[in-house]
Amino acid sequence: MKALRNTENGLRNNKLAEEDPARTNEVIKVGVGDFKIGVEGQVLETILGCCVGICLFDKKKKIGGLLHTMLPTAPRGEDVDPVRYFNTGLIEILRVMKAEYNIDETDLTAKLYGGAKLILKSNHNIGRNNVEYARRFLKKKNIEIISQKVGGNKGYRIEFDISTGSVKCQFIGKNAST
């Protein structure tokens, strides 16, 4: 089994496996502005606030990727990590899925999570902007969103089970500050 991108930090069982002895899947953490690609027998996990998590899944090959982006678009002309931004991060994860696993993006479906508004007094809703951009960009790439849990004023913890393509999503934290 292999996972890509920052694997030295990501390939280890975490507390979830210790809490549930029946759980046999390997848990791989996905950090902010990062992605991981997993295979059958692995679970990709992340925590989201206003960021957006996109689970991409090839049902036939049982291979999936989780992209955790911070903002919709990368600033032009600046040297930045492309995975932090949805427009460049999606292109990068699709490139790696094609190169390493021969995944055709037309075989992928998407599940979308996050985009919470964590500061209620703010007029600027980064979470909503992230979600709207993600929806438009996935539509442009002809990747169908088959499930989503977005918005609200709490964070999310998601676990993407590559064996089944299912995503467990739970709210975390307190309600956003006013």
Whole-angstrom Cα distance, residue 76 to residue 29?
Answer: 29
Summarize the confidence of residues 24-40 as an average pLDDT: 93
What is the set of domains in the chain, with CATH numbers? 33-172 (3.30.1330.200)
Structure tokens at 147: 């499930």
Q: Is the pLDDT of residue 9 over 50?
A: no
Q: Which amino acid is at 85?
A: Y
Per-residue pLDDT tens over the stretch 141-151: 999 999 999 99
Q: Would you report the helix, strand and coil content of the chain in percent, each value rounded to 5?
A: 25, 35, 40
Per-residue pLDDT tens over the stretch 77-101: 777 888 888 889 999 999 999 999 9
Alpha carbon distances (Å) from 178 to 64, 70, 125, 156: 37, 22, 13, 19
Structure tokens at 170: 């739970």
Identify how many contiguous H helices and E strands the chain contains and give both numbers.
Answer: 4, 9
pTM here is 0.83
- Strand ranges (E), the chain: 26-29, 34-39, 42-48, 52-58, 63-69, 108-114, 144-150, 155-161, 167-172
Crossing angle of the two packed helices 126-140 and 86-101, in degrees rounded to 10: 40
